[in-house]
Structure 1
Amino acid sequence: MHPHEVALVTGGGKGIGKEIVRRLAARGLTVYLGARDPDRGVTTGPGVRPIRLDVTDEASVAAAVETIEAETGRLDVLVNNAGITSDWGLRTTDFTAAHLREVYAVNVFGVVTMISACVPLLRRSPNPRVVNLSSGLASLTLLSDPEISLPTEGFLAYSSSKAALNALTLLYAETLRADGIKVNAVSPGMVPTDQNAGAPFPRGHRTVAEGAAVPVLLATIPADGPTGVFRGPDSLEDVIPW
């Protein structure tokens, strides 16, 4: 891995995203920390460049990518970390299309917007990588296994949006293979973050550092590394079924 590689992390102002930014910068990368309000509470450091970025706003995405192109000329790593969920208290049958639209706007459409905007810059990299932050709750194999009791109530928007993200991962991986762009999905595991603050179940005991570990490993794989895989939460050897 070249020490002067360039990365962009969406939702990088807090939680797992912030730790991914810190770790990539510590490895010598120039890291653009994408946040809707980069002037509020964003910690900078050597190699970290806060940039205004709202993945639901195409103009915001275009402006951020133009800035990166002007300053660096290319992009080596895109980490699609930004994600939201909807009301934890809802039963599955109480979800409406409006709830799903809100979540899909970030978790699905936002990722499409980011990849579409960044592909031209990624093509200029000798080793381009895309990492999509997914979840074990996106696994149709696990969700359909009666022997595995995954929580489902309150997850309709989140779980289905991440399943859609997994499909995007596989389709982009195949389409961009000829360009050498590797596209992978990762589950950070259950980490207590702002996103699951209202969850009606244990929010998990994993630390932010543990949650960021495998995303960083996928973000720094070599040119002959895997593409179209779903890994985590503890190592690159942890294969999560689609």
Structure 2
Amino acid sequence: MEGAISSPPNTRIAVVTGGNKGIGFEVCRQLASDGVTVVLTAAVDKLKGLGLFKVVFHQLDVSDASSIAGLANFLKTRFGKLDILVNNASVGGAEYSKLSIPSRKSALDSHQRLEMIMKNVRETVDAAKEAVQTNYYGTKHVIEALLPLLQSSSDGKILE
């Protein structure tokens, strides 16, 4: 069993998708700081480096049905419930060329920086399809798979 840790029955359990950086990482950090056992799909080592040890890694690709089912089975077997689901995994729906963006301290003003970025972004059909698959269907399928575990909690919550 991946990342098994001991958890008393009254321990709150959270899953955070897309928790490896930004808002998702901060959500993981705050939940773990509050004593919630966080099952996340990335960034475990970073959180443990901050002294937060109630974190468990489990692989998840929100666009892969077998990966979602694997997470649901792991949660059911290991914890029997889920208290908090934070759907944070997403993709932008655009392709960016390899571009070195100057720092804010460069000679470019904000308008010039934005113009340079926009010239190097392509909104392709493939990128749009990936965004719909991940951001809509991935989230939908994760919720459908984990809903029975959320219903097993006395206080199950879904956050988007």
Question: Structure 1 length normalisation: TM-score?
Answer: 0.48
Structure 2: which 5+ residue stretches go unaligned?
1-8, 97-116
Write the deviation string for residues 88-128 of structure 1: whole angstroms up to 9, x where unpaired.
Answer: 6568xx73432210111111111011101000101101111
User: Could you tell me whether the CA contact under 8 Å between 2:47 and 2:53 is conserved in 1?
Assistant: no
SS at match of 1:11: coil
- Give the equivalent residue in structure 1 for 2:149: 121
Counterpart CA distance in 2 for 1:48 and 1:104 is 29
Runs of 4 or more consecutive aligned structure 1 residues displaced over 4 Å after TM superposition? 88-91
Q: 2:86 aligns with which of 60, 75, 79?
A: 79
Listed one character per residue, the Cα deviations across residues 182-232 of structure 1 (whole Å, up to 9, x for unaligned) are xxxxxxxxxxxxxxxxxxxxxxxxxxxxxxxxxxxxxxxxxxxxxxxxxxx
Name the CA distance, whole Å, in 1 between partners of 2:131 and 2:158: 21
2:34 counterpart letter in structure 1: R
Distance between the aligned counterparts of 2:47 and 2:35, measured in 1? 17
AA at the equivalent of 1:4: T
Alpha-carbon distance change, 113 to 42 in structure 1, aligned in 2, over 3 angstroms: farther
SS at match of 1:112: helix
Post-superposition CA distance 1:4-56 (Å, at most 9, x none): 11100001122221111110011111110123xx68x6533321111111111
Higher relative contact order (CA 8 A, sep 6+): 2
Instruction: Report the number of matched residues.
Output: 126
Q: Which residue of 2 aligns with 1:100?
A: 128
TM-score of the aligned structures, taking structure 2 as reference length: 0.70
1:235 is aligned to: none
Higher gyration radius (CA): 2
Aligned residues: CA RMSD: 2.3
- State percent identity of aligned pairs: 34
For the pair 1:25 / 2:32, whether they are aligned, the reply is yes
Cα separation, 2, equivalents of 1:9 and 1:96: 28
Structure 1, unaligned stretches of length 5 or more?
Answer: 133-242
Paired residues of 1:79 and 1:131 also in contact (CA < 8 A): yes
